[in-house]
A = this chain, B = another copy of it.
Amino acid sequence: MNLNPAAVNAVPKSGTTMSQMQNVERQLRGMILGLEIGPGERLTERWIESRFGASRTPVRAALLRLETEGLIARDGRGWTVAPINLAELGQIAVYREAVEVAAVRLTASLEDRSGIEVIAAMLDSCDAGTPREEWHRVGLDFHIELARLSGNEFLLRGVRDAMTRLSRARWLEVRDTAALGRAWAEHHAILAAVRKGDAEKAARLLSAHIAGSRHRLVTSLHDDRRGLRARGFAVVAA
């Protein structure tokens, strides 16, 4: 029996029995993506064990899974929260462009493209009063849901993985309201092209959107890297 006070597990979601591994994985992922644990920080299995009240067996399993997601990395013998790596962010952007463009081409060629209306509604749920956190989430989900419509499991997974790896960086990016609005408009333009079944135009718009997004992201982080390091975040230069 684990006698650690923190061992008082959170009540599992009603109806779902969550294994300890899933619990640790989910919570740890949340802390990493939410920057509650900074990029570059060292992790020890024992700390996680006591923090979440699970034994090392599920902790290890969760670490192995998060490693394949790219959120944590091995540091010699130990574990480290993956640092923000500007060169890597650039490569991810190239990768996601390839995958997302392929997906949107498929989607725009579907007979039934009505699925995009759900995505349009999702975009429209954001307005001036929407909290920043929500804009962030919708911005990620737009790309993931668009890829899901393609029906290709592997393209979807590629996009999801890429967005997960980009998530923390986008959260650190300094974005003014104008930038948010521009992204929103570009998203809508892409949807419009898909709606018309114009695969080429959708591909072109998406490609430009991702390239611009990448440029702004890398530039912003590059300019801010001193400040980010001051906050304890490991930022590896491009």
Residues of A within 8 A of B (CB): 57, 60-61, 64-65, 68, 88, 91-92, 94-95, 97-99, 101-102, 106, 152-155, 158, 162
Please, which residues of chain B bring their CB within 8 A of the CB of A101?
98
Please, which residues of chain B bring their CB within 8 A of the CB of A158?
95, 99, 158
Give the residue name and chain of the B residue nearest to A61 (CB). B64
Partner of A155, one of B60, B95, B102, B153: B95
Verify A106–B88 contact, CB threshold 8 A. Answer: no
C-alpha spacing A9/B43, complex, angstroms = 31
Which of A61, A95, A97, A99 has the most chain B CB within a 10 Å cutoff?
Answer: A95
Give the residue name and chain of the B residue nearest to A92 (CB). B154
9 new A-B contacts at CB < 8 Å, known A98-B98, A98-B102? A65-B68, A88-B153, A91-B152, A94-B102, A94-B106, A94-B154, A95-B99, A98-B101, A99-B158
Total copies of this chain within the assembly: 2
Give the residue name and chain of the B residue nearest to A162 (CB). B154
Least CB distance from A70 to B in Å reads 9
Give the residue name and chain of the B residue nearest to A87 (CB). B153
Least CB distance from A40 to B in Å reads 19
C-alpha spacing A152/B96, complex, angstroms = 12
Verify B91–A154 contact, CB threshold 8 A. Answer: yes
9 contacts between A and B (CB under 8 A): A60-B61, A61-B61, A88-B153, A91-B152, A91-B155, A94-B152, A95-B102, A95-B155, A98-B99
Please, which residues of chain B bring their CB within 8 A of the CB of A152?
91, 94-95
Give the residue name and chain of the B residue nearest to A62 (CB). B64
Verify A97–B91 contact, CB threshold 8 A. Answer: no
**A153 and B91 in contact (CB under 8 A), knowing A60-B61, A68-B68?**
yes
C-alpha spacing A60/B59, complex, angstroms = 12
Least CB distance from A57 to B in Å reads 7
Closest 9 CB pairs of A and B: A98-B102, A95-B154, A68-B68, A64-B64, A91-B152, A98-B98, A91-B154, A91-B153, A95-B155
